[in-house]
Amino acid sequence: MPDLFIDGSWSSGAKGLTREIRCPADGTLVATVDEATREDTERAIAAARVAADDGRWASVPASERGRLLHRLADLLERDVETIARLESLDTGKRMVESRYDVADVVSAFRWFAGLAGIDLGRVVDPGGTGTFSRVVYEPVGVCALITPWNYPLLQASWKVGPAVAAGNTFVLKPSELTPSTTIHLVRLLQEAGLPDGVANLVLGAGAEAGAPLAEHPDVDMVSFTGGLLTGRRIMAAAASTVKKVALELGGKNPNIVFADADLDAAVDNAATAVFLHSGQVCSAGARLLVEEPVHDEVVDRVVAIAEGIRLGGPFDPMAETGPLISQAHRDKVAAYVERAVADGAVLRTGGSVPDEPALATGWYYPPTVLDRCDTAMACVQDESFGPVLTVETFRTEEEAVRLGNDTIYGLAGAVWTGDSSKAHCVAAALRHGTIWINDYHPYRPAAEWGGFKQSGVGRELGHVGFAEYVEPKHIYENLQPAPSGWFGGTEPTNS
């Protein structure tokens, strides 16, 4: 069956191009999918534009839009094993992680289903009698939704959910490396009853299939999750038509451990913070900042955990983490570690491609710990997006905050301490969009997600994430119309 979905029909690309999707755990062929050209993407944009302009979805009562999202969530729960398998094959992550991802996707869609029925409008004081003034919220229009390879379905849900709930139409483009669950999601939207033209799907690389989404004048908003450099290009391209932009561009996230913390919990969570999904997480706690008196103990214990983590494929019941997404990405991570050591970081564990025969056909890289780092080093400032932990030391609360903020990013961070007052003071001073206290990684669909500084623009999830997909409109009504009197020699009336 063809894999592009445009104006209610599944089709192949205009040039008949295809792409092989291979599992990063062992290189086996997962699927061969159709590849879109610029022409295909422009056709998808045109379909979404017509559907937005004729109001076929925006005119549907908000409560019905919410019910459709609940139906979609039911279908996702029905297909959980199929979806989890597709996600694991595309990304290489373990099945248990993919099942958790599907559960999170369901929660996100149900959250936005609930928001769909909420009337955001309000009455405004008109400042006089005989008038009525109100603010209403309308769909943005055509939304371009561009998602990454590390959490393909989850990131799609964070964009598709509010787009559908608010009454928009959209063109969805997943990463060319991991399209399988996004294809399945669009099939489920069709099954749930979404009208033709509302959802459109194009597959392929950004330069060909994705570029028109940021440039095209018929696109009203672009939402992108991915790397900083690509985000900058999208923002620049979108500027030519002054469209709305929402960007989530990753982070270099500090995980701060004070000496008075519960070290058992802090050490365990420090390993999870950075090594989950082999570090391919935008909010990964890749910077461990440890108060000097407990530095040796904390780092020794994290190293011991790292050395015991078992690598393996999605269906290996003994595996604790999986491969990197591609050979190119593994090469990038390896070069990152080599430079860190050359810059003076102390390699405590990891740092070389594993030589076990069972891992030879996949893109594995071991959990790696780099000690004695500082913020002048590239390894502290640059995002590796791999299983690499850098360790810094601090002496005072003020120094911990200064180091935690010494980054161009500002997505997430954590503070570990037994002193609640200190925890909240540090949390308030850190310029990151999410701060965990004595925990790492939990998020909630009702809480906004996004970053300060170069971690992005706008928010996903929460009420603000929904608001990205609507436009406010002020409607002012004069209930007693009369001549204004500005011209003709009469005294103007108040307005």
* Residues designated catalytic: 248, 282
Alpha carbon of residue 233 to chain centroid: 17
Where are the extended beta strands (E) located within 276-395?
A: 287-291, 346-349, 368-371, 388-394
Task: Please check whether residue 362 is in contact with residue 89, taking contact to mean a CB–CB distance below 8 angstroms.
Answer: no
For residue 141, what are its two tokens? 């229009």
Question: What one-letter code names the amino acid at 5?
Answer: F
Distances (CA, A) of 122 to 63, 134, 265, 301: 18, 6, 46, 55
Angle between the 397-405 and 420-429 helix axes, to the nearest 10 degrees? Answer: 30
Task: Please check whether residue 471 is in contact with residue 138, taking contact to mean a CB–CB distance below 8 angstroms.
Answer: yes
For strands 122-124 and 169-173, give the pairing: unpaired
| Cα–Cα distance for residue pair 462/371, rounded to 1 Å | 37
Task: Please check whether residue 32 is in contact with residue 22, taking contact to mean a CB–CB distance below 8 angstroms.
Answer: no
Angle between the 62-78 and 152-166 helix axes, to the nearest 10 degrees? Answer: 160
For strands 142-146 and 169-173, give the pairing: parallel
Q: Which helix (H) or strand (E) holds 378?
A: helix 378-381
- CA-angle at 373, arms to 371 and 375, nearest 5°: 155
Find all residues with CB under 8 Å of 211, minimum gap 6, and list them. 38, 41, 237
